[in-house]
Structure 1
Amino acid sequence: MNKHVSAVVIFITVTAAILYSCKHEIPAGPETGLPGGISGLPGSVGRPCSPDSVYFANTIFPLINSSCAIAGCHDAASHAEGVVLTSYNNIMRYVVAGNAANSKLYKVIVRTDNERMPPPPAPAWTTEQKAALQKWINQGAKNNACDKCDTVDFKYSTAIKTIMQNKCQGCHNPASLGGGVDLSTYTGVKASALTGKLYGSVIWSSGVSAMPKGGIKLPDCEITQIRKWIDAGSQNN
């Protein structure tokens, strides 16, 4: 290899390394548009979460996947009113990056009448969840992810309840009992844990319906939190 070619190769290699190190958004997959930065995939591992930021893969996509992109609504098979919300790319069709007030997705989520989404009798998003969506959009609606989980914390009130609320309750609540399972209360979560279905579903065990259904597998850290909570007696702590 002559000196000129060697110099070109070095330049390309260094340039690529710089571009990669400065890249903060998680690239979407070519077919699904899903983020590639959680559950052990490249992009978020070791990247600390900023308390001032809301992340698509960690917060927004799980909320939409469990409450909007479900059977009968906006999954690929049902595509109610022609709307599919199963990927970042599809979700962005209804989002104006940097402007939540003019984003169709945000406007239907915050409505308080019968035209809100998810539609009654499904539970509306909480005030905190609506605020997270608003903040994510106003921060640029990035396809981003980070590591924020701590396996030292596996209490129900501070860890398990949050996981259930953001990633499971959209399909498992009194108005939408997916598989006949209610994960909107401690009693329901404990009952599922005692049967072994809760843990089996989140580790995608064979013979058990993988959860979140149609979504991204929970990060290893959150699965560990659930396992530790169950092993400690599934307490309401």
Structure 2
Amino acid sequence: MKKHNYLLVLIPFLIGITSSCRHEPIQPFKPMETVTDTTGNNPEGCSPDTAYFNRDVMPIIQLNCSVTGCHGGGSSKGGVDLTSYQSIINTAGVDPFDPANSNLYAVITETDPNKIMPEPPNSPLSNADIAIIEKWIKQGAANNFCADCDETNFTFSGAVFPIIQDNCLGCHSGSAPSAGIPLTTYNEILPFAASGGLYGTINHDPGYVAMPYLGSKLSDCNVNQVKQWIDNGIMND
């Protein structure tokens, strides 16, 4: 969920990606000191007792918050930029180990419709997503990661579509998807994958706009899963 000579199908990425955000600008959150603690990193596997920033937290934020017109894609409403770990720490009022004192947690649990994020009519975060963010903050809000990716699984339903859901639908869904490229169903994804655009953008190949837009590159494992799915025939499996 950065070069030149872009393909025609991708030119719109450069000229105003179309998601919008309708709430009034809020006051910027007070930046905190840079958090560099990465304890909990586990390149060999993922602990069920740990909330990982790269696997658990960032996909939620990318899908719901760090979109163009709100807090990503070149936009930072209220001075809040949610496109990377450091920008989240610096602008979203995250207080490690203390969700109750963290503005990021406060706005996603707000009951006032004029203050809650994501703003209506967008759907609020699910209880499960809120619990993940709360757990991550309680555990220190570290820039932690783990490897929990099986490159032997490259089916559309089991691997590719979940990757797209977590990293792409924040911009490429709804009535006005970014660059006019919707990615909400297999039939919408198929032509983009067949043209080479899907792999080229997520692999940050020359001639393609790197995706997720202004976000971190997908893991090598996720990129390889998409590539294997394409090489295997781009099936709806």
Spell out, residue by residue over 1:71-130, the C-alpha distance to the aligned partner (whole angstroms, 9 max, x if none): 322248532112222332332342222233442212323457364323344454444433
Opposite residue 70 of structure 1, the aligned amino acid is V
1:226 deviation in Å? 0.5
Larger radius of gyration: 1
Closer/same/farther in 2, CA of residues 76 and 188 from structure 1, 3 Å limit: closer
Q: Distance in 1 between the 2:114 and 2:231 partners?
A: 42
| Matching residue of 1:80 | 77
Closer/same/farther in 2, CA of residues 221 and 122 from structure 1, 3 Å limit: same
CA contact (8 A) 2:84 2:216 kept: no
SS of the equivalent of 1:216 reads coil
| Matching residue of 2:57 | 60
Q: Distance in 2 between the 1:77 and 1:51 partners?
A: 34
CA contact (8 A) 1:34 1:88 kept: no
Q: Distance in 1 between the 2:233 and 2:73 partners?
A: 38
Structure number with greater CO (CA < 8 Å, separation at least 6) is 2
Q: Distance in 2 between the 1:62 and 1:157 partners?
A: 18
TM-score, with normalisation over the residues of structure 1?
0.71
Closer/same/farther in 2, CA of residues 120 and 201 from structure 1, 3 Å limit: farther
| Matching residue of 2:214 | 214
TM-score, with normalisation over the residues of structure 2?
0.71
SS of the equivalent of 1:70 reads coil
Q: Distance in 1 between the 2:51 and 2:176 partners?
A: 27
| Matching residue of 2:164 | 164
| Matching residue of 1:49 | 46
Opposite residue 99 of structure 2, the aligned amino acid is A
SS of the equivalent of 1:94 reads coil
Instruction: Please tell me whether residue 107 in structure 1 is matched to residue 116 in structure 2.
Output: no
Q: Distance in 2 between the 1:116 and 1:189 partners?
A: 32
For 1:1-237, what aligned pairs fall within 5 Å after superposition? 46-75=43-72, 77-92=74-89, 93-111=92-110, 113=113, 115-175=115-175, 177-237=177-237
1:48 deviation in Å? 2.0
1:218 deviation in Å? 0.9
Spell out, residue by residue over 1:35-86, the C-alpha distance to the aligned partner (whole angstroms, 9 max, x if none): 9x9xxxxx96843221221211233234324542333222485321122223
Q: By percentage of residues, which structure has more helix? A: 1
1:213 deviation in Å? 0.7
The answer to which of 215-224 and 103-112 deviates more is 103-112
What is the root-mean-square deviation of aligned Cα atoms in Å?
3.0
Q: Distance in 1 between the 2:192 and 2:180 partners?
A: 10
Closer/same/farther in 2, CA of residues 182 and 145 from structure 1, 3 Å limit: same
| Matching residue of 2:13 | none
CA contact (8 A) 1:55 1:136 kept: yes
Q: Which runs of 5+ in 1 are unaligned?
A: 1-32, 38-42
1:34 deviation in Å? 10
Closer/same/farther in 2, CA of residues 207 and 76 from structure 1, 3 Å limit: closer
Closer/same/farther in 2, CA of residues 77 and 213 from structure 1, 3 Å limit: closer
Q: Distance in 2 between the 1:120 and 1:80 partners?
A: 15
- Percent identity of equivalent pairs: 40
Q: Distance in 2 between the 1:236 and 1:114 partners?
A: 41
Q: Distance in 1 between the 2:63 and 2:114 partners?
A: 20
| Matching residue of 2:25 | none
